[in-house]
Amino acid sequence: MDPDLILRWLHVIGACVLLGTGAGIAFFMLIAHRSGDARFIAQTAGTVVLADLLFTTTAVVLQPVTGGLLAWRLGWPLTEGWVFASLVLYAVAGVFWLPVVWIQVRMRRLAQAAADADAQLPWAYHRLFRIWFACGFPAFAAVLIIVWLMIARPSIGWV
> For residue 99, is it within any domain?
yes
3-state helix, strand, coil in the chain (%, to 5): 85, 0, 15
> For residue 157, is it within any domain?
no
Domain that holds residue 19: 3-152
Confidence of residue 32 (pLDDT cuts 50, 70, 90): very high
Instruction: Give pTM, 2 decimals.
Output: 0.90
> For residue 33, is it within any domain?
yes
Domain count, the chain: 1
CA distances from 83 to 8, 32, 105, 149 (A): 14, 37, 33, 8
> For residue 88, is it within any domain?
yes
> For residue 71, is it within any domain?
yes
> For residue 158, is it within any domain?
no
Confidence of residue 116 (pLDDT cuts 50, 70, 90): very high
Is the pLDDT at 159 greater than 80, yes or no? no
Q: Tens of pLDDT along 60-105?
A: 999 999 999 999 999 999 999 999 999 999 999 999 999 999 999 9
3-state secondary structure (DSSP) of residue 37: coil
> For residue 159, is it within any domain?
no
